[in-house]
Every structure is written in structure tokens, then in C-alpha cells.
């Protein structure tokens, strides 16, 4: 289960899908409002809602056991689901993400949360998804790849979820998704105690999820396999896929049974 963040969509995982598909059933959903999913304007784009959507998708597809891969907001969403159903998680891969509380947020992202101004930046000027094309990578994206990333977010209406994701970042107890994030954070300890294998793949040039977040993951999961790419950006799969591909294949193996084997 490949869970994307903001402002990407399942396209972020296109190379991972091609890599794993010969040996795995690979599921890469687009969150509501993202990618090729519907983009309702009057919708509760909250962390709780996204976690619930992922749970319902797994139930609909009758997925009892799975490996979880998360990036950016996909970490909090995916780990939220995993914490509620830890017995179903074979193994986990986290990339430049957080699933715990923090008040660290760059000014350039904080500005996108400001009333009126933030809405104009994100929905009017495409200043979040568009800016990420250069700010989230260390190596310039090919023109066709850049176009694909922002293709679903081509209008004020279609950028609704991009803006709502930014607004929903839980920084303080009064924020609408703060209590949900606390529950997600508590679930991490359950997963650690159950010794669910974790692979950390981190772009060291990430201006948002920087080395501080990486270190917290390492402290929370001291037994995790860890790879820190000092020359990779937030979209670490774009910058470092050649190095990451063999790590994913080795960690995920050739199917669910490898998960059980890896726990011994």
C-alpha cells in the first residue's frame, strides 16, 4: 500500500509500482481531492477523514495483511491506519514524513496557512504544488514529469485539497487534527513493541522534513534500517531512485511471506 502526501499524487510512486508489480500486488490510491480522485469542494479534508478513507479502501479490497509505504502526509495517514490495525502490518517504509507532533514548519509553508493570503497563494497562484517542482528536488525534474505532477491541480477548484492539507497541519492543541495526530503518535509505540520492521529512506536536503524529523524516527524505532541521502530532496524517489530501488526490493522481498521471514 503506497500512500502519497501533499502536493503529490500516486504518480509519485510510478517507479516503485513498476519495480514491485512483478512480485507484489501494489495499491497506490489518490487521496480524496488529489490526483485522479474526485475533488469535492464541501468536504472535510482532515487527517481523520483520510485515515478512515484508507481503512475503508482496505476493507473494500479485502486486504488483511500488507506492507505500508508512506511519504509526506502519507506517513501520518498510513501510520494512523497502521496504529489502529497493527496486526495487519507486515512491514513499513517511511520517506521524509512525520507521524508525531512537531511545531517545526518553514515560513514558506506557514504563509500558505494564512487567512486569505494562503488561499490565494495555494489555490489562485498554484504556489504550493507549483513551487514544489523545484523546491522539493535536488535535481531538476524533466519537463514531462513536472507537468504530470501538477496536471491534476490545474485550477482553483482542483487545488482545494492541496490547500486543505496545508490548513490541516496540526501544530497546536486547538488545531482540528491535533487529537488525531496524538493517536497516530501513540500508535507508533504499539508498532515498535510489535517489532514491525521499518525502513527509513530520507532525503537530507528536505527543507521541511529535515534531519530533526529523521532523528526522531531513528529514536522511536532504533531497530529500523536507515538510509540518509545527503544529496536527496523531499521528493527523494525522484532524486535517489537508482539507489533506493535495490533497498526496496531487498526489504519488501518477493511477497507477504517475506514479512514473516524478516521478523525472525
189-217 pLDDT, tens per residue? Answer: 999 999 999 999 999 999 999 999 999 99
Residues 6+ apart with CB under 8 A from 69: 1, 2, 3, 13, 16, 78, 92, 93, 94, 95
Q: What is the pLDDT of residue 230?
A: 98
At residue 181 the predicted structure's pLDDT band, cuts being 50, 70 and 90, is very high
Query: What confidence score (pLDDT) does residue 173 get?
Result: 97
C-alpha–C-alpha distance, residues 27 and 35, integer Å: 14
136-164 pLDDT tens trace: 999 999 999 999 999 999 999 999 999 99
Judge whether residue 262 has pLDDT over 50: no
CATH number, domain 2-263: 3.40.50.1820
Q: What proportion of the chain, given as a percentage, has pLDDT over 90?
A: 95
Domain boundaries, the chain: 2-263
Nearest CA-CA partner of 197 in 98, 77, 92, 94: 92
Average pLDDT rounded to a whole number, residues 95-99: 98
Is residue 254 very low, low, confident or very high in pLDDT (cuts 50, 70, 90)?
low
d(CA 209, CA 104): 9
Instruction: Record the cell numbers describing residue 103, joined without a space.
Output: 511545531
Which is more confidently placed, 118 or 257?
118
The answer on pLDDT for 47 being more than 90 is: yes
CA atoms within 13 A on the CB side of 238: 24
pLDDT for residue 79 is more than 60: yes
Q: What is the pLDDT of residue 257?
A: 41
* Residue 132 CB contacts under 8 Å (≥ 6 apart), including other chains: 7, 8, 149, 234, 235
Question: What are the angstrom distances between the C-alpha of 76 and each of 97, 140, 145, 146?
Answer: 7, 27, 26, 25
Q: Is the pLDDT of residue 99 over 90?
A: yes
> How far is residue 193 from each of residues 110, 175, 259, measured CA to CA in Å?
35, 29, 16
Residue 263 has pLDDT above 70, yes or no: no
Amino acid at each position: 500500500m503506497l500512500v502519497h502526501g501533499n502536493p503529490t499524487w500516486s504518480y509519485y510512486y510510478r517507479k516503485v509500482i513498476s519495480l514491485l508489480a512483478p512480485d507484489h500486488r501494489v495499491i497506490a490510491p489518490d487521496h480524496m481531492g488529489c490526483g485522479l480522485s474526485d475533488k469535492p469542494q464541501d468536504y472535510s479534508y482532515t487527517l481523520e477523514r483520510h485515515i478512515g478513507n484508507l481503512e475503508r479502501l482496505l476493507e473494500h479490497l479485502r486486504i488483511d495483511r500488507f506492507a505500508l509505504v508512506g511519504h509526506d502526509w502519507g506517513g501520518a495517514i498510513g501510520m494512523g491506519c497502521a496504529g489502529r490495525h497493527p496486526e495487519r502490518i507486515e512491514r513499513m517504509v517511511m520517506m521524509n514524513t512525520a507521524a508525531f507532533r512537531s511545531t517545526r514548519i518553514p515560513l514558506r509553508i506557514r504563509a500558505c496557512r494564512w487567512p486569505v493570503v494562503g488561499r490565494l497563494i495555494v489555490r489562485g497562484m498554484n504556489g504550493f504544488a507549483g513551487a514544489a517542482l523545484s523546491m522539493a528536488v535536488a535535481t531538476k525534474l524533466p519537463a514531462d514529469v513536472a507537468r504530470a505532477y501538477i496536471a491534476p491541480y490545474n485550477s482553483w477548484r482542483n487545488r482545494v485539497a492541496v490547500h486543505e492539507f496545508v490548513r490541516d497541519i496540526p501544530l497546536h492543541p486547538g488545531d482540528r487534527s491535533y487529537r488525531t495526530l496524538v493517536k497516530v503518535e501513540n500508535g507508533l509505540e504499539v508498532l515498535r513493541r510489535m517489532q514491525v520492521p521499518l525502513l527509513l529512506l530520507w532525503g537530507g536536503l528536505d527543507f521541511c522534513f529535515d534531519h530533526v524529523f529523521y532523528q526522531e524516527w531513528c529514536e522511536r524505532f532504533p531497530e529500523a534500517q536507515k538510509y540518509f541521502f545527503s544529496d536527496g530532496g523531499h521528493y527523494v524517489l525522484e532524486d535517489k531512485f537508482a539507489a533506493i530501488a535495490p533497498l526496496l526490493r531487498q526489504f519488501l522481498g518477493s511477497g507477504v511471506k517475506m514479512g514473516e521471514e524478516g521478523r525472525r
